[in-house]
């Protein structure tokens, strides 16, 4: 989800942490997913592109990997299988969206994506949701429909459907029936992107998280861990994990905003507090964390203060033009090509929460590579058009972020996210075998489709340490 969409919707580190997940006593096991990162074209603007010890319990778990496509397309994806027999899809992981959708064979206007379209006619467990008082209905009053419109003029619409979703053979979780969108039309970036569709993790009844929680499969917690500037990938965990030592937390107010917000009060650059009124971070939605956005956006006052403070700390570097003359990017040369050494030139930035805890941002958490000048970097922080502070994936590179919806808080821990998936499950998740046919009926009642404008067992303790991880896309253009 890009910045404009969110507002209208109403939303390697040089030191790698070594930590342990302790066993919890929850009834539900977490499900762990791989993530993959897709990269962006040269223009660093979300206005133009979609930036867009673990507990062993009696219940099964699933784990999946994140694939990185950040530098070319600006998003992280994971693999999901839908139907009987299962059909595979690459879905953008988006905490700002509440619906999961994929293009269907009935689509009249859908782009060419990574995988073939979903063919509901081939799935013995598929069922389109019939019109009912809890959903928007089609013109004929027969089926439930959804529509999502985004500010950059992209959109998705189709039929709300229900089928089995599977998480790979490495998952202990059996296939689960879930409601998703069967696309009949997509426009804009949704049409042109490589990823097949969206996996909605936002707050909402149709969100994957909400549906699994309602079924009692997982607790109301999930975590994301994005890889760093040089090595991408990562992992997603659906379910509860015990907070690792060193994790810092911020309160997240679900009543203030439908999006995941944090209680940001102050910023520090190189250990020095910026002279900013805490209210600057307290816009309509507060400070929002959105996995579908690539960069960070601050109110103009805060942006200028951060930019000036960073520039003051790097007198030995030369200010240069950005890769795109259409934008006034803040870029510097002279730091060298080795990302592991940029901390010798650029300062740390600290984000202080209302409880006094701080999240430390290393240079990779606010810089991106200049695409035309080797050894040059640009600020991945930009001024916002209004009072909203929006934090995209760049801010949480190599950071495990736990969205603890049960306790209304978000947790942050610096770690090697690219290595996390390898440590959780060495083999990649193969496609699931055809699941046993299940009853098509469901007790999930879809919420109204409002238009939006924006089987491997884990050990008792799991040490995470530095190790190279093979990812689908080599990140080298930034």
- 437: three-class secondary structure by DSSP: coil
Q: Are 31 and 171 in contact (CB under 8 A)?
A: yes
How far is residue 102's CA from residue 330's CA, in Å, rounded to a whole number?
A: 37
CB 417, CB 223: distance < 8 Å = no
327 φ/ψ angles, rounded to the nearest 5 degrees: -130, 145
Which of 68, 290, 384, 419 is an active site residue?
A: 290
290 is a catalytic site residue: yes
Alpha-carbon distance of 39 to 476, in angstroms, equals: 10
Is residue 324 part of the annotated active site? The answer reads no
Calculate the alpha carbon distances from 477 to 76, 112, 236, 272, 474 in Å.
Answer: 17, 24, 25, 32, 9
By three-state DSSP, how is residue 342 classified?
A: helix
- Dist CA 266 CA 304 (whole Å): 14
Side-chain half-sphere of 260: how many Cα atoms within 13 Å? 32
Environment class of residue 408 by beta-carbon count within 10 Å: exposed (0-12), middle (13-18) or buried (19+)?
A: exposed
CB of 460 closer than 8 Å to CB of 147: no
Query: Euclidean distance between the first and final Cα of the chain, in Å?
Result: 21
Q: Which of 200, 127, 228, 207 is nearest to 468 (CA)?
A: 228
Which among 401, 405, 404, 449 is positioned nearest to 99, based on CA atoms? 449
C-alpha span between 218 and 404 (Å, rounded): 12
Q: Which residues neighbour 325 within 8 Å (Cβ) at sequence distance 6 or greater? A: none
CB 207 within 8 A of CB 98: yes
Rounded distance between C-alpha atoms, residue 321 and residue 443, angstroms: 57
Strands 399-404 and 221-226: what pairing? antiparallel
The two three-digit tokens of residue 363, written as one number: 């240079």
Catalytic hit among 68, 69, 94, 404: 94
Which residues, in sequence order, are CB contacts of 8 under 8 Å at separation 6+? 150, 151, 452, 453, 454
User: By the 8 A CB rule, do 364 and 342 touch?
Assistant: yes
| Residues designated catalytic | 94, 290
């Amino acid at each position: 989800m890009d910045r404009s969409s969110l507002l209208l919707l109403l939303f390697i580190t040089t030191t790698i942490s070594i930590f342990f997940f302790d066993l919890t006593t929850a009834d539900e096991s977490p499900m762990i997913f791989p993530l993959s990162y897709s990269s962006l074209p040269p223009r660093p603007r979300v206005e133009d592109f979609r930036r867009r010890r673990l507990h062993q319990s009696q219940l099964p778990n699933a784990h999946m990997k994140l694939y990185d496509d950040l530098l070319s397309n600006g998003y992280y994806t994971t693999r999901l299988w839908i139907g009987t027999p299962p059909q595979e899809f690459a879905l953008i992981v988006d905490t700002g969206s509440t619906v999961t959708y994929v293009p269907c064979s009935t689509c009249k206007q859908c782009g060419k994506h990574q995988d073939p379209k979903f063919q509901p006619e081939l799935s013995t467990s598929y069922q389109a949701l019939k019109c009912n008082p809890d959903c928007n209905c089609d013109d004929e009053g027969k089926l439930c429909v959804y529509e999502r419109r985004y500010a950059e003029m992209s959109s998705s619409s189709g039929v709300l459907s229900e089928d089995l979703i599977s998480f790979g053979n490495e998952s202990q979780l059996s296939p689960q029936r879930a409601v998703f969108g069967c696309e009949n039309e997509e426009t804009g970036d949704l049409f042109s992107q490589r990823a097949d569709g969206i996996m909605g993790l936002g707050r909402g009844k149709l969100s994957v998280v909400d549906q699994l929680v309602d079924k009692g499969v997982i607790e109301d917690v999930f975590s994301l861990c994005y890889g760093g500037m040089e090595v991408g990938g990562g992992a997603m965990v659906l379910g509860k994990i015990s907070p690792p030592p060193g994790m810092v937390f911020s309160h997240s107010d679900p009543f203030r905003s439908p999006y995941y917000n944090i209680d940001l009060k102050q910023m520090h650059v190189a250990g020095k507090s910026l002279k900013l009124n805490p209210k600057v971070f307290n816009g309509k939605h507060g400070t929002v964390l959105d996995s579908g956005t690539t960069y960070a956006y601050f109110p103009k006052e805060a942006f200028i203060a951060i930019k000036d403070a960073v520039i003051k700390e790097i007198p030995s570097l030369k200010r240069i033009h950005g890769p795109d003359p259409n934008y006034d990017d803040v870029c510097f040369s002279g730091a060298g090509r080795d990302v592991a050494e940029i901390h010798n030139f650029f300062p740390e930035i600290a984000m202080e929460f209302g409880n006094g805890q701080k999240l430390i941002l290393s240079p990779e958490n606010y810089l991106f590579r200049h695409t035309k000048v080797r050894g040059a970097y640009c600020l991945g922080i930009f001024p916002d058009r209004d009072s909203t502070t929006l934090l995209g994936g760049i801010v949480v590179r190599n950071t495990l972020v736990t969205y603890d919806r049960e306790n209304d808080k978000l947790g942050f821990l610096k770690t090697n996210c690219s290595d996390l998936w390898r440590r959780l499950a060495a083999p990649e998740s193969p496609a699931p075998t055809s699941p046993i046919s299940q009853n098509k009926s469901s007790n999930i009642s879809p919420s109204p489709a409002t238009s939006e404008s924006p089987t491997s067992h884990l050990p008792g303790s799991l040490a995470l340490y530095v190790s190279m991880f093979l990812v689908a896309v080599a990140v080298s253009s930034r």
